[in-house]
């Protein structure tokens, strides 16, 4: 804790627990939120562990991971729990979180790359159980295709983590660089674990730029280009279908694709013109990629 406080308070700042500076011509802030009370050696975390014979295991795979790959990670967790003699039972949810099982733990929304396991122990030993959970964390950390976290229940209000650091500024490249430095500092600080940096894995956006001059000569409206691309990749809703049991299903029209859409699906997109002819999209657009952050949130860590 002292290392983080010293780092953030090294220069005067207008706000408590915040550092201010200039980098790359931009103005940035680093704000630390440490959920603690007291001072010095008497400092204690507000979120104290709740001695319970249960805990959660969360599986977070990268964005775009298929349902089958997330299920494979979930089965790895279940196989690890099966070899723990202290485990009494568990129930798992694939694609979404468990129903709310503790007052300050909200249910996770539906997501193909998420799974959650609620585990019950035969008994909780203050002497042996924490060490066995650390062994489980070390075992699950060896899984290469997903981040797997073991979370014990804590008292207090719902928070992202006992330590949360926000990097605020107008330049995304500077924020990315500073977030990486903060992540390394927090990882090297004794007593911290489960350090999450949302900017660590970037997202690649595909940008389609229309050749407006060529499209106008061929009589292709811009709205038709957008509609054709959406039809080939995501599909366009065309109605609903109700079966005999009363269940309704959306009818989506799209071009034939494989298990998931790829760049080849954009090569054969045909766009109708005002003259009634169809033009291939590849003759009317330029394709480029751009690196963007997956989501803009702070760097957090657990510390016990």
Strand 114-121 and strand 54-60: pairing? antiparallel
Percent share of the chain, pLDDT over 90: 26
Residue 83 has pLDDT above 90, yes or no: yes
Does the fold of domain 212-283 match that of domain 48-158? no
Closest by CA to 53, choosing from 12, 92, 81, 88, is 88
Mean pLDDT of 189-203: 83
Domain spanning 212-283, CATH architecture: 2-Layer Sandwich (3.30)
pLDDT digits (tens, 9 = 90+) for 85-103: 999 999 999 999 988 888 8
Minimum mean pLDDT range among 33-37, 62-66, 183-187, 272-276: 33-37
| DSSP 3-state of 55 | strand
pLDDT digits (tens, 9 = 90+) for 146-195: 999 999 998 888 877 888 888 888 887 888 888 889 899 999 999 888 88
End-to-end CA distance of the chain: 10
At 119-143, the pLDDT tens digits run: 999 999 989 999 999 999 999 999 9
SS3 73: helix
Measure Cα distances from 285 to 35, 152, 206 in Å: 51, 52, 12
Q: Coil, strand or helix: which one is 162?
A: coil
CATH assignment of 48-158?
3.30.70.1430
List the one residue out of 239, 256, 257 whose CA is nearest residue 248.
239
56-70, 102-116, 190-204, 205-219: least confidently modelled range: 205-219
Output the pLDDT for position 95: 92
Helices marked H in the chain — which ranges?
A: 2-8, 67-82, 129-140, 172-188, 212-218, 222-233, 264-267
pLDDT greater at residue 106 or residue 276: 106
* Domain map (residue ranges) of the chain: 1-46+159-202+295-304, 48-158, 212-283
In this predicted structure, what is the pLDDT of residue 225?
A: 78
d(C-alpha 105, C-alpha 50), whole Å: 13
User: How high is the pLDDT of residue 33?
Assistant: 54
Q: What is the pLDDT of residue 10?
A: 41
């Amino acid at each position: 804790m002292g290392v983080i406080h010293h780092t953030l308070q090294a220069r005067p700042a207008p706000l408590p627990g915040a550092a201010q500076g200039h980098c790359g011509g931009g103005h940035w802030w680093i704000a630390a939120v440490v959920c603690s009370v007291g001072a010095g050696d008497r400092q204690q975390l507000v979120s104290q562990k709740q001695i319970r014979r249960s805990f959660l295991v969360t599986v977070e795979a990268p964005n775009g991971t298929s349902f089958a790959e997330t299920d494979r990670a979930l089965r790895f967790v279940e196989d690890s729990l099966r070899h723990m003699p202290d485990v009494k039972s568990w129930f798992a949810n694939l694609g979404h979180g468990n129903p709310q099982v503790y007052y300050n733990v909200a249910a996770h929304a539906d997501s193909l790359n998420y799974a959650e396991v609620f585990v019950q122990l035969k008994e909780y030993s203050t002497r042996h159980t924490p060490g066995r959970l650390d062994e489980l964390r070390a075992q699950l950390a060896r899984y290469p295709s997903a981040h797997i976290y073991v979370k014990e229940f804590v008292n207090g209000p719902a928070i992202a983590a006992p330590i949360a650091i926000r990097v605020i500024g107008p330049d995304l490249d500077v924020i990315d660089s500073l977030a990486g430095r903060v992540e390394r500092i927090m990882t090297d600080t004794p007593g911290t674990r489960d350090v999450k940096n949302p900017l660590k894995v970037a997202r690649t956006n595909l940008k389609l730029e229309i050749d407006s001059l060529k499209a106008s000569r061929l009589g292709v409206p811009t709205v038709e280009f957008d509609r054709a691309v959406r039809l080939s990749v995501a599909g366009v809703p065309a109605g609903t279908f109700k079966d005999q049991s009363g269940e309704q299903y959306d009818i989506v029209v799209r071009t034939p694709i494989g298990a998931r859409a790829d760049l080849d699906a954009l090569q054969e997109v045909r766009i109708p013109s005002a003259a009634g002819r169809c033009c291939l999209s590849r003759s009317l657009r330029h394709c480029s990629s751009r690196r963007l952050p997956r989501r803009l949130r702070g760097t957090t860590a657990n510390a016990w």
